[in-house]
């Protein structure tokens, strides 16, 4: 999976990038048809926000989630939990759809 991390009003350090890479491996464990992931780290006043978009193979739309917290690492954890639920739900829909009657 191709991973892209950008920041708005935040410098993306190696530690943040490594943390996102480590957490995103969990998504690939459930569903291996992920093409790319784009994460945007934002800092607005005292709220740390993270947006994540996953491109999935096939004829489906992208999976998108947002999370915010008072700490960037907590926001990343919350985002990965949301994306994890969505990826598992997407995988179950795809696999259930193709089962013969």
| Spans in the chain with pLDDT lower than 70 | 96-101
Of the candidates 18, 3, 24, 5, the one whose C-alpha atom is nearest the C-alpha of residue 83 is 24
- CA nearest neighbour of 49 among 9, 84, 3: 9
| The predicted structure's pLDDT at residue 93 | 80
Question: What pTM was computed for the model?
Answer: 0.88
Q: What is the pLDDT of residue 75?
A: 96
pLDDT at 71: 94
Per-residue pLDDT at 79: 96
What is the assigned CATH class of domain 2-97?
Answer: alpha beta
| All structural domains of the chain with their residue ranges | 2-97
In the prediction, which pLDDT does 5 show? 95
pLDDT at 99: 60
pLDDT on residue 94: 77
């Amino acid at each position: 999976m191709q991973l892209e991390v950008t920041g708005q009003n935040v410098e993306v350090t190696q530690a943040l990038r490594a943390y996102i890479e480590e957490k995103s491996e969990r998504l690939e464990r459930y569903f291996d048809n992920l093409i790319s992931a784009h994460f945007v780290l934002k800092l607005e006043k005292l709220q740390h926000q993270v947006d994540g978009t996953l491109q999935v193979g096939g004829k489906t739309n992208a999976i998108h989630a947002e999370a915010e917290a008072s700490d960037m690492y907590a926001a990343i954890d919350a985002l990965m939990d949301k994306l994890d639920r969505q990826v598992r739900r997407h995988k179950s829909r795809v696999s259930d759809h193709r089962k013969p009657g």
